[in-house]
Structure 1
Amino acid sequence: MADSQLLKPAILVISDTASQDPSTDKAGNVLTETFKTDGGDRWATPAIKIVPDNVLDIQRQIQQWTDGEEYFNLVLTTGGTGFAVKDVTPEAVSPLIHRHAPGLVHGMLASSLEVTPFAIMSRPVAGVRKNTLILTLPGSPKGAKENLQAVIKLLPHACIQAAGANSRSIHAGGVSKLEREAGISTSSPDTTTPSEKEQHHRHHHHHGHDHSHSHSCGHGHGHGHIVPKPHTSPSERPQSNDPNAGPTRRYRESPYPMLSVDEALRLIYEHSPEPTIIEVPIDTSIVGSVVAEDVCAAEAVPAYRASIVDGYAVIASAHTAHGKGDTKGKFPVASVSHAQATSMPPPLEHRTIARITTGAPLPENANAVVMVEDTALISTTSDGTEEAVVEILTDDIKPGENVREPGSDVSLGSKILQTGDFITPVGGEIGLLASTGTKTITVFKKPRVGVLSTGDELVEHNNPAPLQGGQIRDSNRPSLISCLQSWGFPTVDLGIARDTPANQLEFALRDALRGSASKPAVDIIITTGGVSMGELDLLKPTIERNLGGTIHFGRVSMKPGKPTTFATIPFKPPISSSTQGVVGNDAQEERETRLIFSLPGNPASALVTLNLFVLPSLHKSMGLAIRAALSDNNNNNNNNNNPVSSPASLGLPLVTAVLTHAIPLDPKRTEYHRATVSASSGTGALLATSTGLGGKGAGVGQRSSRVGSLAGANALLVLPPGKGVVERGAWVQALLMGNVVGE
């Protein structure tokens, strides 16, 4: 048979030991030899890979072999099918299978049971993923060989059909023809007539594909191909949110209670982690950080007696009884003191002066500075390049005049910043730290945020190709990332995760938390899309079922943003090189909590809920709750050194504004209406105008999918549920997303 006609097998060896030392694997070679000796001329040389006993590693390799255009016809796994704690192969393979094939499982088990009763302790899985047949074999070379030999003659027929061959033409010669081609002899001579053979063929063809046959004892024979069909009402069965179950098992009604915005914010605050303290160097990266510990000046400012004007350093004495000093007159210029000098000028002698620039150190013995405006040049040096004699025109100069004493700005060891202070972008705090010689500072760590879009319909916003079919440009990711970066948080672009296959979403979330060489690990994940009730809205079931997470709320009584979801998932960080191998290090076993905010896919909903729900959590994680608590304590003259974090002052600032037009109210849900808040040039009052008005109607264009309502919006008007409208001129509360603009 030509190589192009050979079926392509692949062998996945699953073993922690073999993954570290491939020379210990024997099963791969045994199975390869079995294909040569027992497979006839139907098989190419198998591809072999070794992975550890890890669900994700197993799934990733199988998907590489099955999901591409150059797929393998058969994938065999060997190892991990027993009852040991590390045996996870069935759990890894089962979710990948689209159509199960229990008949092959029965055949392998029946053959093994003829050899040893312990065969019943194996947990094999078989089935088809896309165009590839998958079988799981035992880890022992002998057991793997026996299982493969039990079914190898039937596998070409299964693989050809799985690859999409015409079933009618394959079965045209009847079962006997298929048995002869496979090299299988029946247990009794073939004495049936042609018509009986055709009836026999029709029975087996029906049984092998529709599988409606069942035993009289009531146990369904099944064979894995029957489509799940509900026979009970929703009230009679538990609902499933298994991402692999498909639309027939999806929720028909959300199981998550509808929470108020305040309840949702309380849960977010409760489960957002307390801030982490880190030590960082003094540079522009600390802008937007909150100081975690008091900072004391490492150096005095200035560090020496310095001039605060351009002029001449002099030795001034106290004024006489007549109110006059002794500085007036003509004096030789003995030296020059520049601000950039790396060494101190020489001591000043009596009846001499030193030219000095602003900020330069005073020579020893000098105690005052005369402004250059109060002097006159008398003579220069012979070469004309320097001043020789200068006349001081006043005798009103007092000791200490125009001199900045050491530590007069900042004294050595004095507190320059305290816990809870905010490093503003204006530059004052960084300038103070730099001027006092501060090299590092402890701040509350800003969480790193990853942004992931989900959906098969999405394409990159900058994809040059024209849209096709139901494609949509992904506007959420660049919008949310730009907003997060404007707040000063480090961000990671996690790209787009497809809805199908379902486990791609799981892989994307796990990879985001673990990080990679190209993308750092994130502390918080923000996703958009996949949180509604569609059959491909897989965020919530993936979080609960695949990641072991807890969904704290899945619906909020608000408009827009009703399906907003907040969850926490357990996460075990990788062991760092500094702790790896240390006996008794408890940190190696500790699990941390990571947050996931699953926002709706509609652009307006995503941006509104980012501002409303994600920002307060970020503020708590970066220490702003502690800052707010300290501020409250100071205002109340409370000397408590251990303030309790509170949700006060977190999230967007709240102001009151006057409506410039009427806006209708939603009868059931609080609406967060996109608007522009401006300051009146006449009265200074804040004015609120909707960004979604159209035509003559008020409030038109504020649908959650309406991208245009985002442009120009710098506020969210908080409109409680009710009947009728909020009239023009009414006062409304507004959450400011940006700076107030001019009228």
Structure 2
Amino acid sequence: MSDAGILKAKILVVSTTASKDPSTDASGGILTNVFETEGAGKWKVEEVKIVGDDVLEIQRNVTAWTDGENAVNLIISTGGTGFAVSDTTPEAITPLLHKQAPGLVHGMLAASLAVTPFALMSRPVAGVRNKTIIVTLPGSPKGAKENLQSILKLLPHACSQAAGADSRALHAGGIKKLEKDAGSNDPSLGPSRRNRSSPYPMLSVDDALKLIEEHTPSPQVIKAKVDGGLVGSVLAEDVTATEAVPAYRASIVDGYAVIAPTDGASSKGTFPVASISHATPGEIEPLEAGQITRITTGAPLPPGANSVVMVEDTVLKTLTDDGAEEKEVEILAEDVKEGENIREIGSDIKTGEVILKKGEEISAVGGELGLLASVGRAEVSIFKKPVIGVLSTGDEIVEHSRPGGLKLGEVRDCNRPTITSAIRGWGFDVVDLGIARDKPGALEETLRDALRKVDVIITSGGVSMGELDLLKPTIERSLGGTIHFGRVSMKPGKPTTFATVPVKDNSGNRVNKVIFSLPGNPVSAVEWPGHRKQYWRSEKFESG
């Protein structure tokens, strides 16, 4: 470890394909990002190198990094750990190890097995050479990331031991101190031994939002009817028109359908009214030369008509014998052109045209519902809205509606009603999770029960540095969750926390659910969801 307390790591990507074309490698960048974003500021990745699936080449690079005065603390390799003929990374690394580390191997396999049974098809190796920890990871970027995440918090302690640190000093305080040093706060430590500076690196708001987007579960797509219940939903597909609008040639004025001369002759004259076309379904007699049809706005043109003259440009000449209808009408317009005052088929929307794009929101006033209805769409694919639970924490918090005065130290809960109303206003279903007390067991039980009911939990309070701020350690230690960030460079709202927790859904499948833990200060608590509405409205947050 350097004087600044930073551990040095190098990444060896084992891939014959990537050694020929480095642009095909994704693992190196992903693993580097894990060190940077989840390593609590303890790591510096000095180099990422790509080599082919060759035993000697692998060994030459590893020994160059481990043997000598400038040895690194940690080498992570990725690739070549499977059963393929070319997979030789374990065979290259094992002879180099002076000590085996089966515990790290077991931890990685157990973590991967919880995700996929194919984890058992990997052959990881871990151990120590000289003063360097060496760990092999699978070649899959996803698998490599999950394996590294499963042991990352243990590696600083392992590297310190391998580098020659005094074991008695390292183990002073027992397992609880080691867990704390690994980034896991123990609520039982008490005020005298709690962390006095946050173990979570400070992230910019943009970096925090990127982590939210990266770790939020993928969207679930469902079919929904095109009706009022669609308001607030986000489309999961481009919507194309299955029919044209209008579906027929229609008049855009009240007047008379005519056959306009195409030879330059005058259009003026007196013509018999042969038929009437209203904006109602039905057959219309074809129009013949020398005839006109009375027509209303939106009504279909009779076959043969090619133009419409406004009623203002006409004069009634004669009536039928009963006086109920027009018999003859004089056209006053001198130069009526073909196509005047007509909406052609598909002039508004053509068949096959994209009318709404994936990711667009169906609003109450934006006309999206009318657009879908106009082309005959009965249902569309949307992203399923998550059910969001809102929880307040703290022994001092009481219901805002509780009658009577407050006792010394009590605070009425204003966060939960405020956050709940904001989320409802954005069109999401909300479950009121009530108030959880500052007791580790009670908080864990409340969160576990909530994770069975909702997809996303938003909490307020308990995320700062107080001895009763239990949310972060409860998420990590009791729920087995991963805190992706615990501090954000924003005022107010710095302790805002984002975590995912693995649970089983109703089908027994392992899924991640999301927890946002907001500060207890009302202004801080409302700042994050209020100013980041776009992420609640994004595709990621329309999933389950």
TM superposition score normalised by structure 2: 0.60
Is residue 2:514 matched to residue 1:595? yes
How big is each residue's C-alpha offset from its partner over 1:625-667, in whole Å with a ceiling of 9 and x where there is no partner?
Answer: xxxxxxxxxxxxxxxxxxxxxxxxxxxxxxxxxxxxxxxxxxx
Post-superposition shift, 1:615? 5.3
Could you say which residue in structure 2 is the equivalent of 1:552?
484
Could you say which residue in structure 1 is the equivalent of 2:311?
372
Is residue 2:316 matched to residue 1:316? no
Is residue 2:471 matched to residue 1:539? yes
How big is each residue's C-alpha offset from its partner over 1:353-412, in whole Å with a ceiling of 9 and x where there is no partner?
Answer: 221111111122222211101111123345544323222223422332222221222222
In structure 2, relative to structure 1, the CA distance for the partners of 1:619 and 1:408 (3 Å cut) is: closer
The partner residue of 1:471 within 407, 410, 413 is 410
Structure 2 segments unaligned to the other structure (5+ residues): 1-168
The partner residue of 1:449 within 388, 403, 415 is 388
Contact 2:496 2:517 in 1 (8 A): yes
Letter in 2 for 1:260: L
How big is each residue's C-alpha offset from its partner over 1:702-736, in whole Å with a ceiling of 9 and x where there is no partner?
Answer: xxxxxxxxxxxxxxxxxxxxxxxxxxxxxxxxxxx
Post-superposition shift, 1:498? 2.7
SS of the equivalent of 2:538 reads helix
Q: What is the CA–CA distance in structure 2 between the aligned matches of 1:529 and 1:395, rounded to whole Å?
A: 79
Contact 1:291 1:419 in 2 (8 A): yes
How big is each residue's C-alpha offset from its partner over 1:90-116, in whole Å with a ceiling of 9 and x where there is no partner?
Answer: xxxxxxxxxxxxxxxxxxxxxxxxxxx
Could you say which residue in structure 1 is the equivalent of 2:143?
none
The partner residue of 2:445 within 487, 507, 512 is 507
Post-superposition shift, 1:550? 1.6
Could you say which residue in structure 2 is the equivalent of 1:527?
459
Could you say which residue in structure 2 is the equivalent of 1:334?
274
Could you say which residue in structure 2 is the equivalent of 1:732?
none
Letter in 2 for 1:511: D
Structure 1 segments unaligned to the other structure (5+ residues): 1-231, 516-521, 576-587, 625-743
Letter in 1 for 2:213: Y
In structure 2, relative to structure 1, the CA distance for the partners of 1:395 and 1:615 (3 Å cut) is: closer
Q: What is the CA–CA distance in structure 1 between the aligned matches of 2:542 and 2:341, rounded to whole Å?
A: 43
Post-superposition shift, 1:548? 1.8
Q: What is the CA–CA distance in structure 1 between the aligned matches of 2:241 and 2:537, rounded to whole Å?
A: 30
Post-superposition shift, 1:454? 1.5
Could you say which residue in structure 2 is the equivalent of 1:236?
173
Q: What is the CA–CA distance in structure 2 between the aligned matches of 1:364 and 1:412, rounded to whole Å?
A: 22
Could you say which residue in structure 2 is the equivalent of 1:568?
500
Q: What is the CA–CA distance in structure 2 between the aligned matches of 1:347 and 1:606, rounded to whole Å?
A: 70
Post-superposition shift, 1:474? 1.3
How big is each residue's C-alpha offset from its partner over 1:242-277, in whole Å with a ceiling of 9 and x where there is no partner?
Answer: 888484797343562332325534433331233333
The partner residue of 2:353 within 383, 395, 414 is 414
The partner residue of 1:294 within 225, 232, 238 is 238
SS of the equivalent of 1:298 reads coil
Q: What is the CA–CA distance in structure 1 between the aligned matches of 2:370 and 2:240, rounded to whole Å?
A: 14
Contact 2:234 2:539 in 1 (8 A): no
Residue-pair matches, total: 368
Could you say which residue in structure 2 is the equivalent of 1:145?
none
How big is each residue's C-alpha offset from its partner over 1:270-293, in whole Å with a ceiling of 9 and x where there is no partner?
Answer: 312333333323335545554433
Post-superposition shift, 1:473? 1.7
Q: What is the CA–CA distance in structure 1 between the aligned matches of 2:515 and 2:537, rounded to whole Å?
A: 12
Of residues 345-354 and 302-311 in structure 1, the stretch that sits farther from structure 2 once superposed is 345-354
Q: What is the CA–CA distance in structure 2 between the aligned matches of 1:500 and 1:594, rounded to whole Å?
A: 22
Contact 2:216 2:514 in 1 (8 A): yes
Letter in 2 for 1:440: E
The partner residue of 1:251 within 194, 198, 203 is 194
Is residue 2:379 matched to residue 1:440? yes
Letter in 1 for 2:457: I
**Relative contact order higher in (CA < 8 Å, ≥ 6 apart):** 2
Q: What is the CA–CA distance in structure 2 between the aligned matches of 1:560 and 1:394, rounded to whole Å?
A: 70
In structure 2, relative to structure 1, the CA distance for the partners of 1:527 and 1:623 (3 Å cut) is: closer
Could you say which residue in structure 1 is the equivalent of 2:31?
none
Post-superposition shift, 1:235? 5.9
Post-superposition shift, 1:428? 4.0
The partner residue of 2:226 within 274, 278, 282 is 282
Q: What is the CA–CA distance in structure 2 between the aligned matches of 1:501 and 1:257, rounded to whole Å?
A: 23
SS of the equivalent of 1:379 reads strand
Post-superposition shift, 1:475? 1.2
Post-superposition shift, 1:549? 1.2
Alignment of 1:90-489 (within 5 A): 236-237=173-174, 238-239=176-177, 245=188, 247=190, 251-253=194-196, 256-262=199-205, 263-287=207-231, 289-319=233-263, 323-325=264-266, 327-339=267-279, 341-421=280-360, 423=362, 426-486=365-425, 488-489=426-427
Q: What is the CA–CA distance in structure 1 between the aligned matches of 2:287 and 2:246, rounded to whole Å?
A: 21
Q: What is the CA–CA distance in structure 1 between the aligned matches of 2:338 and 2:406, rounded to whole Å?
A: 80
Post-superposition shift, 1:442? 2.4
Q: What is the CA–CA distance in structure 2 between the aligned matches of 1:551 and 1:287, rounded to whole Å?
A: 33
Q: What is the CA–CA distance in structure 1 between the aligned matches of 2:411 and 2:278, rounded to whole Å?
A: 65
Alignment of 1:628-643 (within 5 A): none
In structure 2, relative to structure 1, the CA distance for the partners of 1:459 and 1:342 (3 Å cut) is: farther
Post-superposition shift, 1:337? 1.5
Q: What is the CA–CA distance in structure 2 between the aligned matches of 1:567 and 1:456, rounded to whole Å?
A: 23
Contact 2:276 2:293 in 1 (8 A): yes
SS of the equivalent of 1:559 reads coil
In structure 2, relative to structure 1, the CA distance for the partners of 1:532 and 1:414 (3 Å cut) is: closer
Post-superposition shift, 1:476? 1.0
SS of the equivalent of 1:442 reads strand
Post-superposition shift, 1:528? 0.2
Letter in 2 for 1:600: P
Contact 1:481 1:491 in 2 (8 A): no
How big is each residue's C-alpha offset from its partner over 1:567-607, in whole Å with a ceiling of 9 and x where there is no partner?
Answer: 110021112xxxxxxxxxxxx4x311111111110011112
Q: What is the CA–CA distance in structure 2 between the aligned matches of 1:266 and 1:342, rounded to whole Å?
A: 54
Post-superposition shift, 1:485? 3.7
Post-superposition shift, 1:421? 4.5
Give the % identical residues: 54
How big is each residue's C-alpha offset from its partner over 1:139-190, in whole Å with a ceiling of 9 and x where there is no partner?
Answer: xxxxxxxxxxxxxxxxxxxxxxxxxxxxxxxxxxxxxxxxxxxxxxxxxxxx
SS of the equivalent of 1:279 reads strand
Q: Please report the RMSD computed on the Cα atoms of aligned residues, expressed in angstroms.
A: 3.3
Q: What is the CA–CA distance in structure 2 between the aligned matches of 1:535 and 1:615, rounded to whole Å?
A: 34
Contact 1:458 1:496 in 2 (8 A): no
Contact 2:391 2:436 in 1 (8 A): no
Letter in 2 for 1:592: V
Contact 1:311 1:369 in 2 (8 A): yes
In structure 2, relative to structure 1, the CA distance for the partners of 1:309 and 1:604 (3 Å cut) is: same
TM superposition score normalised by structure 1: 0.45
In structure 2, relative to structure 1, the CA distance for the partners of 1:376 and 1:511 (3 Å cut) is: farther
How big is each residue's C-alpha offset from its partner over 1:287-308, in whole Å with a ceiling of 9 and x where there is no partner?
Answer: 5554433322111111011111
In structure 2, relative to structure 1, the CA distance for the partners of 1:338 and 1:259 (3 Å cut) is: same
Q: What is the CA–CA distance in structure 2 between the aligned matches of 1:553 and 1:529, rounded to whole Å?
A: 16
Contact 1:268 1:617 in 2 (8 A): no
In structure 2, relative to structure 1, the CA distance for the partners of 1:374 and 1:614 (3 Å cut) is: closer
Contact 1:499 1:538 in 2 (8 A): no
SS of the equivalent of 1:497 reads strand
Contact 2:389 2:433 in 1 (8 A): no
